[in-house]
Amino acid sequence: MKVLVTMKRTPQRDARIRVHRDGRALELDGVKYDVNPFDELAVEEALRLRDAGAGVDEVVVVTVGPEAAQPQLVSALAMGADRALRVDAPEDLDALQIARALRGVVEREKPVLVLAGKLAYDDESGQVPAMLAGLLGWPQASQASKIALSAGVASARVTCEVDAGLEEVEVTLPAVITADLRLNEPRYASLPGIMKAKKKPQDVIPLAELGDFGAPRARVIRYRPLPPKPAGVRVASVAALVAALSEKKLI
């Protein structure tokens, strides 16, 4: 049985992202990319499910994007994924288009489980996995901090981090589950893993093979930095802090 992990490339966490002079786009020249950290959690979880030897025997990673996204697929292969797929598509597809492309991949690959990071580190919208579940008519579980597959891989018991606390749900498989930070600690790719990665299958599917996509219906038309915050004051004692808060009528 197969687990499909969807992933996105995102700028490295410490990259300083600047807005282009015209305000319409970001300055991304020279920015380095990583696998979206939340998707890395999903890759790691898929590998653990496979290595537990309880019914999952293949981990396939997929990304929807241009050729520049290929290295991040190779990173996932280096971690231990078995096969990589890239749906060749422009970078500006909106979330629903990406979900539709992924549905096409799911219909081809027929995984028993789709795992994804709960959101992308850059855009932070977190829409694609739930949209994919809706398009497929599959159950979904979000922000998972624990996933346990039933014997026979018919269902999964998932602990979800929700506003109220920890919610345990059971989903029948196939399902879409998103990974949260406390799900696991992703492994580093080993040197043998990196060498093996290059020999693993990497397929490309043209977007047009998966349907008619048209123009995106959600797009960013402008970026601007946050308005600067006026500098605060330093106080030298608790008494001074109390006075400051009292002046603001907070005490």
Partner 1 sequence: MSDVLVVIGPATSPLRKADRAAVGFGRAAAGALGGHCDVLLVGAGSAAAAEESAALGARRVHTASGAGLETYTAEGFAALVAAFLDARDYRLIAAATASGSREYLPRLAALIDAPMASDVLAIESLDDERAVFTRAVFVGNLLASVELSGPRVLATCRASAFDTPETSSSKSAIEAFAPPPGATAHDGKRFVALHQAKSERPDLKEASIVVSVGRGTRGPADGIPLCERLADAFGAALGATRAVVDAGWLPNEYQVGQTGKIVAPELYVAIGLSGSIQHIAGMRNSKTIVAINKDPEAPIFEIADVGLVADLFDAVPALTAAVESRRG
Tell whether the torsion through CA atoms of 82, 88, 91 and 92 is positive or negative: negative
CA distance linking residue 197 with residue 233, whole number of Å: 53
Q: Which of 28, 107, 125, 198 binds partner 1 (CB under 8 A)?
A: 125
Q: Which of 104, 123, 196, 213 binds partner 1 (CB under 8 A)?
A: 123
Q: Which of 42, 79, 133, 197 binds partner 1 (CB under 8 A)?
A: 133
Q: Which residue has the tokens 């410490």?
A: 14
Q: Which is nearer to partner 1, 197 or 210 (CB)?
A: 210
Of 238, 205, 226, 207, which Cα lies nearest the Cα of 98?
207
Work out whether 193 is an interface residue with partner 1 (CB under 8 A): no
Touching partner 1, residues 218-237 (CB under 8 A): 218-226, 229, 232-237
Touching partner 1, residues 169-188 (CB under 8 A): 169-172, 175, 180-182
CB atoms within 10 A of CB 181: 14
The conformation of residue 198, written as its DSSP 8-state character, comes to: T
CA distance linking residue 233 with residue 215, whole number of Å: 50
Touching partner 1, residues 61-120 (CB under 8 A): 94-96, 99, 118-119
Shortest spacing between CB 231 and partner 1, in angstroms: 8
Of 71, 141, 62, 66, which Cα lies nearest the Cα of 103?
62
Q: Which is nearer to partner 1, 157 or 187 (CB)?
A: 157
Work out whether 244 is an interface residue with partner 1 (CB under 8 A): yes
Q: Which of 161, 189, 205, 210 binds partner 1 (CB under 8 A)?
A: 161
Q: Which two tokens stand for residue 9?
A: 């490339």
Q: Which two tokens stand for residue 39?
A: 């998707």
Touching partner 1, residues 9-48 (CB under 8 A): 11, 17, 19, 26
